[in-house]
Amino acid sequence: MSYATESIRNVSIIGHGGTGKTTLFERLLAAGGVIQKAETIDSGKTTSDFTPEEIERKISIHASMAHIDKDGKKINLFDTPGSSDFVGDVILTYRAAEFALITIDVRSGVQIETIKLWRALESRNKPRAFYITRMQDERADFNKTLADIKEKFKIDPVPFFIPMGKGAEFKGVIDALNEKAYFLQNDGLEKEGPIPAEFQDELAAVKERLVEAAAEGDDALMESYIEQGTLNKEEIHSGLIKALAENKYVPLFCGELLKNSGVTPLINFIFDIAPAASTGKDIFVDADKNETPVTIDSAKPLAGLIIKTTYDQFSGKLSWVKVIQGKLSADSDIFNVKENKKEKIGKLYTCQGKKLEEIKELNAGDVGIIAKSASLKTNDTITAGEAAYKFFRLRLPEPVHSVAVTAAQKKDEDKMGEFLLKATEEDKTFRYNFNAETKETVISGMGELHVNIILDKIKQNQKIDVETRMPKVDYRETITKKASAEYTHKKQSGGHGQYGKVLLEIAPLPRGEKYQFINAIFGGAIPKNYIPGVEKGIVEGMAHGTMASYPVVDVEVKVVDGKYHPVDSNELSFKIAARGAFREAMKQANPTLLEPIMTLTVFVEEKYLGDVMSDLSVKRGKILGQDSEGGIAEIRAEVPQVELLRYSIDLRSITSGTGSFNVAFSHYAPISGRIADDVIKAAEAFKVADTDD
């Protein structure tokens, strides 16, 4: 069955780890009639956490999808990981969904990952709501959690549910919009009943908040509200739909999920009020990088984005696709814009967790799976025919934790590489590359857990033992003053010999300028046809500096004079002479080492602020600024890369696992003294070891 775009709801369930996302996902599916019984995390049988690593660790690692159908409407639900190590799978659901449901544990309130996820939603202007879980816990305090939300996000959410009691006295929720009470049951789904008299005053106050939110829907509703002081039932309904689609208010829900409380009215809200897929927008990017906003529209020709790639041992390669325009049909021809080629796709699926369900077509706004595509990869744009645009790529964070890897058995190197390459296709926050400079295979992820899970899969699935170590840092060399040198390359061995003489001057460039070549030869001292050889020699000389053989950067090289022989000179002679002249000049130009400096942003609870700042000081960090709000501190600093190789481990230790961070390359900066001496010694030791090999 296919669904009209306006009848599709896409909802991403997000939140800090352990706040009940998977439990909510499971209960919604049970209430929607998709599964007979809602399973618990401990059972290892939930619909969304079905991979061996998720079952073993009892956490969500991958985004999962399922759907609920009712009266010709469809809700696509996405369960997402809570750990920052797997944030990539959260971000891809932002692209798939028009609405996000943020779970908050009533016992913990707003946590660090909640704040980071909120910021990502803000940058996308994505409509969202809060769902407060564990309302029957003895520490549950709805009003305290609401105050925490207000303080940390500077918003005043609009309650759609009113909790009836708290802690052991919690007995269900009131659906304020529809004026119905839902009482929790010890077994089975919640039971609808009359609203207790003691909640009538609170209900009246919440109803007024709903009217105010609805008035934000459009100017006509606001005028009507101002003139009449209220809105009728139809106006409230339409206003709430319009205002939420434009992210003008944030709904608030609550419940006790293990008792199925606050589930049925939530499904009703999603079907009735949550933004339809037709309200969604995306961005086309043309060859000149011009961006054009587009709406989700079934009347346009086919255009879709591959948001995720997985490999199933039975079904093979599976490509998740969000259809943004038009209709995608099984057994049809599509055009892969990135690969610039046509491809015939075969079967098309939707799914309930790991269970695939074959379908014939997907309309704009829907999300499905293309099986066994030859060319499709994550971020690829598919169209009906050739197109001059692509969809904007997923905005994913950069990896923060790296390790160098080698197979314990040399014969397993290629097999290990194939697995790691496939892992990068499945997870775009995971990187794998060979660093030719340090001669290391380096893998990078969003944290130690992220990397370790992939390494565990290599060992368990591929039976390959992998050895790991901290990766080497890409240092650089530069100069601090001007210098000049000449070098003559002369070789005679019968017949034509080799001859070339080069005189050059070098000078430091501003940091980040890399390299500038100036040909200042006059009068034919070096013929023009040998100048390319001169520059090649300089570039070769810059590949290995004179201090520790690291690449040389930020140098201006001016060739000022030279000499050639009419018979023995050739391009090779001048390349060798230029390389020698550059190295001699560099020795006289007061060379220095440069180390990579990273921009670091750390998110921690305020109680850990002093310890984190002290640790950054020990790590030679330069604090750029800090902000604290609602008990969460954000620290911005510049720190040498070498000091951050174990930072995911260090920060976890300092903050009892609650802190998180982002890191990105900033610039190179000089180092000297003992630190430089240690780098040079390590480089010399590496050279000796490499020679021995």
Predicted confidence (pLDDT) per residue in 364-413, tens digit: 999 999 999 989 999 999 999 999 899 999 999 999 999 999 999 999 99
Contact assessment for residue 244 and residue 273, using Cβ atoms and an 8 Å cutoff: yes
Q: What are the φ/ψ torsions at residue 183 (nearest 5 degrees)?
A: -95, 135
For 539-573, b/e burial (b = at least 16 CB within 10 A) is bebbebbbbbbbbbbbbbbbbbbbebeeebbbbbb
pLDDT exceeds 60 at position 693: no
Q: What is the mean pLDDT of residues 219-237?
A: 93
Q: What is the mean pLDDT of residues 458-471?
A: 94
Amino acid at 345: I
Q: What is the average pLDDT value for the chain, to the nearest integer? A: 94
DSSP structure class, residue 302: P
Q: What is the mean pLDDT of residues 8-24?
A: 97
pLDDT value, residue 581: 97
* Contacts of range 674-682, beta carbons closer than 8 Å, 24 or more positions apart: 675/595, 676/592, 676/593, 679/475, 679/548, 679/593, 679/595, 680/547, 680/548, 680/593
pLDDT exceeds 90 at position 277: yes
pLDDT value, residue 684: 85
Contacts of 208 (CB under 8 A, 6+ apart): none
Q: How far apart are CA 203 and CA 180, in angstroms?
A: 10
Which sign, positive or negative, has the C-alpha torsion 239, 244, 250, 252? positive
pLDDT value, residue 520: 93
Could you report the per-residue pLDDT of 163-208, keeping only the tens digit for each? 999 999 999 999 999 999 999 987 667 899 999 999 999 999 999 9
pLDDT value, residue 495: 67
pLDDT value, residue 683: 86
Strands 355-359 and 348-352: antiparallel
In a 13 Å sphere around the CA of 29, the CA atoms on its Cβ side amount to: 28
pLDDT exceeds 90 at position 437: no
Percent over 70 (pLDDT), the chain: 98
pLDDT exceeds 70 at position 692: no
User: Cα 673–674–677 angle (5° rounding)?
Assistant: 90
pLDDT value, residue 60: 96
Q: How far apart are CA 31 and CA 64, in angstroms?
A: 18
pLDDT value, residue 691: 52
pLDDT grade for 690, boundaries at 50, 70 and 90: low
Q: How far apart are CA 255 and CA 170, in angstroms?
A: 9
pLDDT value, residue 689: 59
pLDDT grade for 682, boundaries at 50, 70 and 90: confident
pLDDT value, residue 287: 86
pLDDT grade for 297, boundaries at 50, 70 and 90: very high
**Lowest mean per-residue pLDDT among 180-194, 217-231, 562-576:** 180-194
pLDDT exceeds 80 at position 327: yes
pLDDT exceeds 90 at position 313: no
Q: How far apart are CA 443 and CA 435, in angstroms?
A: 10
Q: What is the mean pLDDT of residues 95-103?
A: 98
Q: How far apart are CA 653 and CA 646, in angstroms?
A: 11
Contact assessment for residue 98 and residue 275, using Cβ atoms and an 8 Å cutoff: yes
Contacts of 132 (CB under 8 A, 6+ apart): 103, 104, 105, 106, 142, 145, 146, 252, 253, 254, 255
Q: What is the mean pLDDT of residues 575-597?
A: 96
